[in-house]
């Protein structure tokens, strides 16, 4: 009697639930002399990794539910991912408030670390359908747990596998390629009967497009900061990033536009 909401349970505080002290202790600057914008750089990239963790949580659930024959919640999960991915693109604007001179004040401290080494970003590509085993040979400094997760992602079904399973569950052929195209055309032309399948395909395409937009925005940011310099991890820098601009998770959904 007389207790207010929140007085039951473990009596958590905002800081203890979110582990705020531990979180704020992770932004450790290394440059000497101190570089003002190093804190910005660390904060931005740690925030990316937190969002990547959430994206993997949502994408994995969407895939698993499609494999189980569900069509509604996978779309909900993908729509959330799309909003997060829009935020990731906008987050580059914050990096662009840093001048090249300010970045150069601490850039040498980063080597050989590089965004190329983000295991979670590769996991997102792998689960989305863009699998490339060669990345494991090129990535340097992976922790054992990171390598294990990447190998698991290479071996497990993708989001596209989940969508194909859902098509088959609704009686559509998914192979060979021309049969899949015909199935997708049928779905597209009869949204009255197959609206859920169409909406899910559009959600997958929105995820694909958002990642493509992030790659394009990332290239411009890198070129604005370092021009044609090589990356801190030894990559070719801008030329490598530009080579990834045409990467697509779901070519069949892009091809569908040409045959509608």
pLDDT at 207 over 90: yes
Q: What is the pLDDT of residue 3?
A: 61
Q: In whole angstroms, what is the distance from residue 239 CA to residue 219 CA?
A: 9
Report yes or no: 241 and 114 within 8 Å, Cβ to Cβ.
no
pLDDT at 126 over 80: yes
Q: What is the pLDDT of residue 208?
A: 98
Give whole-number Cα distances, 176 to 48, 167, 189, 203, in Å: 38, 14, 20, 24
Q: In whole angstroms, what is the distance from residue 53 CA to residue 47 CA?
A: 10
215-225 residue pLDDT tens: 999 899 988 88
Q: What are the tokens at 153?
A: 């992602």
Q: In whole angstroms, what is the distance from residue 45 CA to residue 43 CA?
A: 6
pLDDT at 158 over 70: yes
Q: What is the pLDDT of residue 182?
A: 98
Q: What is the pLDDT of residue 88?
A: 96
Residues 58-87 have a mean pLDDT of 98
Q: What is the pLDDT of residue 169?
A: 97
Q: In whole angstroms, what is the distance from residue 65 CA to residue 58 CA?
A: 11
**Using CB atoms within 10 A of its CB, is residue 212 exposed (0-12), middle (13-18) or buried (19+)?**
middle
Question: Using 50, 70 and 90 to split pLDDT, how confident is the model at 113?
Answer: low
Q: What is the pLDDT of residue 240?
A: 77
């Amino acid at each position: 009697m007389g207790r207010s909401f929140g007085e039951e349970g473990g009596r958590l505080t905002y800081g203890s639930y979110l582990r705020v002290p531990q979180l704020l202790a992770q932004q450790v600057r290394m440059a000497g002399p101190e570089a003002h914008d190093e804190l910005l750089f660390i904060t931005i990239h740690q925030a990316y990794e937190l969002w990547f963790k959430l994206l993997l949580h949502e994408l994995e659930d969407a895939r698993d539910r499609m494999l189980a024959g569900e069509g509604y919640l996978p779309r909900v999960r993908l729509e959330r991912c799309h909003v997060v991915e829009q935020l990731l693109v906008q987050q580059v604007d914050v990096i662009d408030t840093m001048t090249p001179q300010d970045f150069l004040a601490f850039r040498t401290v980063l080597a050989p670390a590089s965004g190329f080494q983000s295991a979670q970003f590769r996991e997102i590509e792998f689960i989305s359908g863009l699998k490339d085993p060669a990345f494991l040979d090129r990535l340097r400094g992976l922790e054992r747990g990171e390598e294990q997760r990447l190998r698991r992602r290479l071996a497990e079904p993708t989001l596209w596998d989940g969508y194909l399973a859902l098509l088959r569950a609704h009686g559509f052929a998914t192979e060979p390629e021309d049969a899949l195209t015909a199935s997708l055309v049928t779905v597209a032309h009869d949204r009255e009967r197959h609206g859920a399948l169409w909406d899910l395909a559009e959600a997958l395409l929105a995820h694909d497009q958002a990642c493509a937009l992030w790659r394009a925005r990332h290239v411009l940011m890198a070129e604005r900061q370092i021009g044609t310099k090589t990356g801190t991890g030894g990559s070719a820098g801008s030329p490598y990033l530009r080579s990834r601009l045409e990467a697509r998770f779901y070519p069949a959904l892009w091809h569908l536009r040409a045959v509608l």
